[in-house]
Structure 1
């Protein structure tokens, strides 16, 4: 899929779910790393992470586009377009736009810990000091698992 096809898809989804047209551009931005897409306030363009389409297909891509179109249409209507605003939450629920996209890269945990008392396991990316921290469930000692 190229940028012209993406813009056509955004226009089609805008008419289908929002009953108004999308008159700006949508394009893939490979520099996006942690987000599925973003709406640009200054230019009203929509940028989409190409990894969403590559990893999850067109269905997840349309979910990201619907989310960004919520920002787009609410901003142009001078309504609450931010995630915390009631207008945004209501419109996103109405059109079935998800609050978050699927994770782009699977999390890899380097450090595994286990409580000696209740056997609760903890996975962490960073190393923790087992002499300083205790189990959050039972306050037992935490031991590193190799």
Structure 2
């Protein structure tokens, strides 16, 4: 999905569920790791985690957009836009947005194997094969492949 398609989707969801236009910018932010999206109070823009689209279904992305639009519209109306406010909880329930983003699973990026017993090790961080050994037989490790 491109940024233009995302912008069009956010504008359509805003009109359909909130009966108000979305007049600011929606974009993907690749630096978001653990959150589905965020509403920027100063600029009124929405930033969304692109992993919500790649790792989960389109419905999860739509639920995340509805959540951020709740923050957006309530803040512009000067009502309770924070998670703990009753206005936010009520509006989120009415439009059917997600209360929490589903967890993004961290995947192993390095695949090591022992020379002697062929024990596999999947790691997120690089391991110094000169310093660390196999936990099963104390054999030397080799890097099989780097997974992206």
| TM-based fold match above 0.5 | yes
Which residue is 2:22 aligned to? 22
Q: Distance in 1 between matches of 2:106 and 2:5?
A: 28
- Partners of 1:74 and 1:105 lie apart in 2 by 31
Map 1:51-130; keep pairs closer than 5 Å. 51-105=51-105
Q: Which residue of 1 aligns with 2:47?
A: 47
Structure 1 residue ranges, 4+ long, deviating more than 4 angstroms after superposition:
none
Q: Tell me how far apart the structure 1 counterparts of residues 57 and 96 of structure 2 sit (CA, whole Å).
A: 17
Secondary structure of 1:41's counterpart equals coil
Q: Deviations over 1:78-104 (max 9, x none)?
A: 000000000000000110112101111
Counterpart in 1 of 2:11? 11
Question: What secondary structure is seen at the aligned counterpart in 1 of 2:68?
Answer: helix
Other-structure match for 1:118: none
> What's the secondary structure of 1:61's corresponding residue?
helix
What is the alpha-carbon distance in structure 2 between the residues aligned to residue 88 and residue 107 of structure 1? 34
In 1, the alpha carbon distance for the partners of 2:102 and 2:74 equals 23
CA distance in 2, matches of 1:2, 1:107: 25
Q: Quick one: distance in 2 between partners of 1:107 and 1:97?
A: 27
- TM-score for both structures, normalised by structure 1: 0.71
